[in-house]
Chain A
Amino acid sequence: MIQISHLRKTYNKGRTVALEDVTLHIPAGEIFGLIGPDGAGKTTLFRLLATLLLPDSGKAQVNGLDVVRDYRQIRRCIGYMPGRFSLYQDLTVEENLQFFASVFGTTLAENYHLIADVYRMLEPFKHRLAGKLSGGMKQKLALSCALIHAPKVLFLDEPTTGVDPVSRKELWELLHHLNRTYGITMVVSTPYRDEVLQCHRIALMEAGRIVAVGPAADVLPEEERVQRTVPFVPPGEEVEGAIVAEGLTKQFGTFVACDHITFRVHRGEIFGFLGANGAGKTTAMKMLCGLSQPSNGWARVAGYDVAKEYEQVKQHIGYMSQQFALYDDLTVAENFRLFGGIYGMNRRQIKEQFQRWMQRLGMEHEAHKQVGALPLGWKQKLAFAVSIFHRPSIVFLDEPTGGVDAQTRRQFWQLIYEAAEEGITIFVTTHYMDEAAYCDRVSIMVDGQIRALDTPPRLMEQFGAADMYGVFFALARTAQRS
């Protein structure tokens, strides 16, 4: 179905090599995984196959058609789902589908059987604007849009990034179903190990080259695990917790986003705060950071009341999220100086701390580069460094590793462990269940309530699951609202 031989692609007039001597054969009906760290060339390869880029040299064929010469025919028989949510946010679910159907010269009814399974999940929201859907729903809609013209090949560039584990599972079940029933060939890239293992075969990519091809179980390197060097011992009950929440509630009109949650995070603990998209994690986190007033209940963070002493709360916490990290147009050093200044550090402190961090991250040479020019994984590590630069007692991390490759995620967790061992309390949300297992304790939210809270091994025992993924799924399945 797909034949690639000695494909080469460069950017910036040959200065940046994106793909080098890529040769690959993917037979029809296969689910093929493209695996590798950020910047390995996966997206470039997808775009070349989708006829959006021209190769410098080498050949590539899709369905027996040349990607350069026969691009018009190829565009008729492929479905392409780029990494980001590429939907019209201001059109409804139904309008998006109808639009993409007509772009491909077909109608919703003609190929309805293909999307019937996905569409059944979307149907209740068909008059909702695409921009108002959850991440999982958006990707299901994007998949439907890519399927509407009954393509022979599907190119899926990280289709599950930013999607909660339940939706990820559903999406992969759909992919398998489509593959089995209609024989659609699929090329998929994903940072999730459990998804990689579901591919028939995978290619490992690194710096634009293919380093290995074969069944996932044979090719994928053994998972390295990070571990705390010093196991965490919770202090006694008499020590006040870093975060104490009692009946914390947030209500928007009749909608209870966060429903009487009660928990306690010990000092120096790594606390995983899990939940499906829309379970109320972000709402709870905003209240704990002093950004949003609770409707009911109370919480103390670093010894301050979040409802009344929110200014002190903000002084004593660090915050990092996927969306807001650093200023792309400032250099690394300028970013640190800015945030150090915001938190009232003096010049000497900033300078000392900055040099220490650059050493620790091994980024001395990048100190005066603009942040925008660095790879995503590096940015996230820098953003974490900035969030604990002023030595807060607690740091809130909102999906800090979204869209980052497995290796960088492990390095990131190494940093988290080091910070925890220095006594900083870590409050982290994540969609990666392997990361959930790295936490000292984990809470899982469903429909605005905390339904489970314990150490990962005890949770697995309690739910009879082999891993945290099993625990999460057992709970998330009970969710009523979406």
Chain B
Amino acid sequence: MKQFYSFVRKEFKHIFRDKQTMLILLVMPLVLIGLFGYALSMEVRSTRVAVVDMQQSQESRRLVQRVDANAYFSVTEYLQSPAAVESLLRKGRADLALVIRTRNDVRQGKAELQILTDGSEPNLAQTRVQYLQQIVGLTASPTAAQPAVIVKMLFNPQSRSAYNFVPGVIGLILLLICAMMTSISIVREKERGTMEILLASPLPPLYVIVAKLLPYLVVSSVNVGTILLLSYYVLDVPIAGSIWVFCALTLLYIIVALALGLFISTVVRSQLAAMLLSLLMIVPAIYLSGMVFPVESMPEAAARVSYIIPTRWYIDGARKLLIQGVDPTHLSIHFLVLAVEAVVLLAVSVKLFKTRLQ
């Protein structure tokens, strides 16, 4: 046990003495939270609205005022006819147009309200439309022939993107730290020749493995804590569900990521190769995890691949727990998939971890 203890201590020293590692560990969570929280917001801000008010009624004017008064929208153009809308959108002088038709048109079966928007940025367009629908839905004219659709965003009424990305950032950072940095730290010993001495010593290989993984487990747990505190107090992200179930889910996910790092370290020989292979695994994980693009909107094949990606299960589970606050029983499939992946990856890499050189 003393062997093991001193090995773990050595690993912590490696981490604390390497400035680059420390920088990644300490600064990366802050940078990512900062980036997603403020700079890369998916939220609708300062949308320029062109209005075509053909009705010119009291209600319609009130509706336009209401839109203009909203912090996210500002009415910049008033047009006479819907024909001018398209060229305005094309020139980029407005992001969205709201057309209010006359009562006469409405009686002929046309919709009272029409929203036109620039669809070249689909995500943005969708969010804008959704939000605008919410505003106008509440003031829809009672005289309208068609009932207005009432949209209500549950759990996240303001479409705050922070709710979406916080679980994603945690999933990403854990993958980077656990998979990439662990694999690099193991391969570094191979590259520098110290692994040769460790193998030729009576140290049990399992000690080497566990001692290599443990410090990164600690470090990544600290990071998860930091991110949660930051998002709770700075970004006002709620923690709706049980924090303990969340911790359990996170721990399981960390173990999967560590096992992945261990696996990578058994198949490569240089630190550079370890880094490239980790990135090769992390990039699809980002795109297929549902962090950026929803799994539901993926093509069938990609969606199927996403089922084996642990990050997908983690992010989905974390969202459900943090934002929706679902009962843990709904997450049994998430726990199951992650647990199976952890066991399989660990078994394979422990088997591949050589007690001799090639």
Q: Which residues from chain A sit less than 8 Å from chain B, CB to CB?
A: 47, 50-54, 72, 75-76, 78, 80, 82-91, 95, 98-100, 102-105, 145-146
Q: Is the CB of A102 within 8 A of B200?
A: no
B residues 163-199 in Cβ contact with A at 8 Å: 192-194, 196-199
With A and B bound together, what is the CA distance between A314 and B316 in angstroms? Answer: 60
- Once A52-B199, A75-B201, A105-B2 are accepted as A-B contacts, the answer to whether A90 and B13 lie under 8 Å apart by CB is yes
Residues of B within 8 A of A104 (CB): 201-203
Mark B85-104 against chain A: 1 for CB-CB distance below 8 A, else 0: 00000000000000000000
With A and B bound together, what is the CA distance between A84 and B189 in angstroms? Answer: 12
Q: Is the CB of B356 within 8 A of A52?
A: yes
Size category of the binding interface on chain B = 20 to 34
With A and B bound together, what is the CA distance between A104 and B5 in angstroms? Answer: 13
- Could you tell me the distance in whole angstroms from the C-beta of A140 to the nearest C-beta in chain B? 16
Interface residue SS majority, chain B: helix
Determine whether B6 belongs to the interface, using a CB cutoff of 8 Å to chain A: yes
Residues of A within 8 A of B194 (CB): 86-88
Selected A-B contacts with CB under 8 Å, 12 pairs = A50-B200, A75-B200, A86-B193, A86-B196, A88-B10, A90-B18, A95-B10, A99-B6, A99-B7, A100-B201, A102-B3, A103-B3
- Once A47-B357, A54-B356, A86-B193 are accepted as A-B contacts, the answer to whether A78 and B200 lie under 8 Å apart by CB is yes
Q: Is the CB of B202 within 8 A of A76?
A: yes
Q: Is the CB of A80 within 8 A of B198?
A: no
Residues of B within 8 A of A53 (CB): 356-357
Residues of A within 8 A of B193 (CB): 82-86
User: Given B7, B192, B197, B356, which contacts A51 in the complex, CB threshold below 8 Å?
Assistant: B356
With A and B bound together, what is the CA distance between A321 and B327 in angstroms? Answer: 66
Determine whether B351 belongs to the interface, using a CB cutoff of 8 Å to chain A: no
With A and B bound together, what is the CA distance between A84 and B14 in angstroms? Answer: 20
Residues of A within 8 A of B357 (CB): 47, 52-53
With A and B bound together, what is the CA distance between A104 and B197 in angstroms? Answer: 11
- With CB as the reference atom, state the residue of chain A lying closest to B13: A91
With A and B bound together, what is the CA distance between A47 and B358 in angstroms? Answer: 11
Q: Is the CB of B197 within 8 A of A105?
A: no
Residues of A within 8 A of B202 (CB): 72, 75-76, 103-105
Residues of B within 8 A of A47 (CB): 196, 357
Q: Is the CB of B198 within 8 A of A103?
A: yes
- Could you tell me the distance in whole angstroms from the C-beta of A367 to the nearest C-beta in chain B? 27
New A-B contacts (7) at CB < 8 Å, excluding given A91-B13, A102-B2 = A52-B356, A54-B356, A86-B192, A90-B17, A98-B6, A103-B7, A103-B202
With A and B bound together, what is the CA distance between A78 and B196 in angstroms? Answer: 13
Which of A47, A84, A102 has the most chain B CB atoms closer than 10 A to its own CB? A102
Pairs A-B, 3 closest by C-beta atoms = A102-B6, A86-B193, A84-B193
Q: Is the CB of B13 within 8 A of A95?
A: yes
- With CB as the reference atom, state the residue of chain B lying closest to A87: B194
With A and B bound together, what is the CA distance between A230 and B198 in angstroms? Answer: 53
Q: Is the CB of A105 within 8 A of B3?
A: yes
Residues of A within 8 A of B3 (CB): 102-103, 105
- Once A99-B6, A103-B3 are accepted as A-B contacts, the answer to whether A80 and B196 lie under 8 Å apart by CB is yes
Residues of B within 8 A of A78 (CB): 200
- Could you tell me the distance in whole angstroms from the C-beta of B81 to the nearest C-beta in chain A? 66
- Could you tell me the distance in whole angstroms from the C-beta of B305 to the nearest C-beta in chain A? 33
Residues of B within 8 A of A95 (CB): 10, 13
Q: Is the CB of A86 within 8 A of B2?
A: no
- With CB as the reference atom, state the residue of chain A lying closest to B10: A99
- With CB as the reference atom, state the residue of chain B lying closest to A146: B197
- Once A51-B356, A54-B356 are accepted as A-B contacts, the answer to whether A86 and B197 lie under 8 Å apart by CB is yes
- With CB as the reference atom, state the residue of chain B lying closest to A88: B194
- Could you tell me the distance in whole angstroms from the C-beta of A415 to the nearest C-beta in chain B? 31
Q: Is the CB of A52 within 8 A of B196?
A: yes
With A and B bound together, what is the CA distance between A85 and B18 in angstroms? Answer: 19
- With CB as the reference atom, state the residue of chain A lying closest to B204: A72
- With CB as the reference atom, state the residue of chain B lying closest to A50: B200
With A and B bound together, what is the CA distance between A99 and B198 in angstroms? Answer: 11
With A and B bound together, what is the CA distance between A90 and B13 in angstroms? Answer: 8
Residues of B within 8 A of A88 (CB): 10, 14, 192, 194
- Could you tell me the distance in whole angstroms from the C-beta of B93 to the nearest C-beta in chain A? 54
- Could you tell me the distance in whole angstroms from the C-beta of A93 to the nearest C-beta in chain B? 13
Residues of A within 8 A of B198 (CB): 103
With A and B bound together, what is the CA distance between A112 and B201 in angstroms? Answer: 19
Residues of B within 8 A of A85 (CB): 193
Q: Is the CB of A91 within 8 A of B10?
A: yes
- Could you tell me the distance in whole angstroms from the C-beta of B263 to the nearest C-beta in chain A? 22
- Could you tell me the distance in whole angstroms from the C-beta of A372 to the nearest C-beta in chain B? 13
Residues of B within 8 A of A54 (CB): 356
Residues of A within 8 A of B196 (CB): 47, 52, 80, 82, 86
With A and B bound together, what is the CA distance between A367 and B192 in angstroms? Answer: 31
Residues of A within 8 A of B10 (CB): 88, 91, 95, 99
